[in-house]
Structure 1
Amino acid sequence: MDRETRIRALWDANAAAWTDAVRGGGIRSRRVATDAAIVEAVLARQPRAVLDVGCGEGWLARALAREGVDVLGVDGAPALIAQAQASGAGRFQVLTQEALAEEGLDARFDGVVCNFALFGKTVVERLFARMPDLLQPRGALIVQTLHPSAVDDEGARRDGWRDGSWQGCGDGFGEAPPWYFRTLDGWRQLIEASGMRLIEYREPSDPADGRPLSLLLIATPS
């Protein structure tokens, strides 16, 4: 099984534990900064329709829907979509990032959001190449991802595969999926190669010590 396929399979296998961690508030970085950061970034664009790629158990789609946004949440892990649908709110469907990149959707959105959902290499490259077809002309891609400081070895200066970890997420997890690390320059190059431009990036930080907890990128069609 290649890395890209393992990512999806392992998220599916850990769906119940992840749902418990998210809905139980068990991940501190989410509580203190990153959840609010992505909601604020999306709502600031005043979107009417949003595609939540890698929606997981659906918390972000539900949060945006409460603000009057029409949200479609998609994820390649059937067990996560089952958790999202069982919540009783929002529109969700099983759709892998590979399929989205290959086939697109018969719709355009004011915003496409990927909140800690981009772990692959080739599949993410293909997905970004599809983004101009998914966005309205004034739409925006909003990505929140692991901050480069999450890699504290010499490899932090270059893109590459890393072993995954559930550290800080709580109990009940099995094997963690691998992830493809990108530097800020790596993200910028990927965005530009996909026919978009990076208009802003933010570093949501820990209110206790100012340490960056994530990297948040906003890009628009060129």
Structure 2
Amino acid sequence: MNRDTYTDAAILASWQRNATPWIAAVRGGEIESRRLVTDGAVLDAVLARAPRSVIDLGCGEGWLALALARRGIAVTGVDAVPELVAAARAAGLADCRLLAYEQIARGELDCRADAVVCNFSLIGATCVDDLLHAVPTLLEPQGVLIVQTPHPLVACGDQPYADGWRSGSWAGFSRAFRDAPPWYFRTLESWIALIASSGLTLRAMREPLDPRSGKPASVLFVAQR
């Protein structure tokens, strides 16, 4: 991948190209790590806080938002990909909005909730920094931010353990996927520093284990205003 394409805009463009196969993969249960570990991990983390309202940032086709709504929680889904928003709405997510992270950072998301959730949806650079700095404005008093993301120590692979852009991959996915999005790697220290600089206090950090490898499948952060 040309380094000129290591941008937040390139991430969004890739997801727009791959929305259709992504919807099929999620709804067809094709992603084993999600079935075994990570879907349940984020759902449990949200339900443990007993929120009455949730904002799902980067909600995709809406699986998490819909799972929460079925449990009587008022959920607002937000995504920047029109096809994913349309799929979430068609599946029954009543409040699903088409907004980019840059728009949310500028204050264009006019709602607040007991919990804001970002489930594997924070893979950019500047747009993620700006989004997290805006999260306190989306939270009710005592509200929490819940982030699930690839575990840096596992996701780093053989590359240096340092913040920076990485090439993406659709390895393990169907041939329908193409042009994988780049992503911005952050160390564990950098994630914790970003949360703190956003005016939030880290309350918990969890490392759900993949039963196949015994290694962390992800890392979960829970932070509070």
TM normalised by structure 2 equals 0.94
Amino acid of the structure 1 residue aligned with 2:65: A
Once residues 34 and 105 of structure 2 are traced to their aligned partners in structure 1, the CA distance between those partners, rounded to angstroms, is: 28
- Deviation by residue 1:29-58 (Cα, 9 ceiling, x = unmatched): 000000000000001000011000000000
Displacement of 1:88: 2.9
Quick one: distance in 2 between partners of 1:88 and 1:109? 20
Q: Partner residue of 1:151? A: 156
1:14: Cα distance to partner?
Answer: 0.3
Residue 194 of structure 1 is matched in structure 2 by 198
Decide which moves more: 25-34 or 163-172.
Answer: 163-172
Aligned-partner SS, 1:103: coil
Mapped partners of 1:117, 1:180: distance in 2: 12
Matched to 1:98, the amino acid is E
Q: Are positions 1:48 and 2:65 aligned together?
A: no
Note the C-alpha offset of 1:151.
1.4
Q: Are 1:217 and 2:195 an aligned pair?
A: no
Residue 160 (str. 1) matches residue 164 (str. 2): yes
- Post-superposition CA distance 1:156-176 (Å, at most 9, x none): x21111111112233310101
- Tell me which moved more, 136-145 or 88-97: 88-97
Q: Distance in 2 between matches of 1:13 and 1:128?
A: 26
* Whole-Å separation in 1 of the counterparts to 2:148 and 2:192: 14
CA distance in 2, matches of 1:63, 1:217: 20
Q: Which whole-Å CA distance do the structure 2 matches of 1:139 and 1:104 have between them?
A: 19
Letter in 2 for 1:152: G
Deviation at 1:3, TM superposition (A): 1.0
Distance in 1 (CA, whole Å) between partners of 2:98 and 2:109 is 13
Q: Distance in 1 between matches of 2:166 and 2:194?
A: 18
Task: From 61, 67, 90, give the equivalent of 1:63.
Answer: 67
Q: Is the 8 A contact 1:62 1:90 kept in 2?
A: no
Could you list the runs of 4 or more consecutive aligned residues of structure 1 that deviate by over 4 angstroms after TM superposition?
none
Is the 2:55–2:76 Cα contact (8 Å) retained in structure 1?
Answer: yes
CA distance in 2, matches of 1:131, 1:96: 14
Amino acid at match of 2:157: D
Identical pairs, percent: 52
Stretches of structure 1 lacking an aligned partner (at least 5 in a row): none
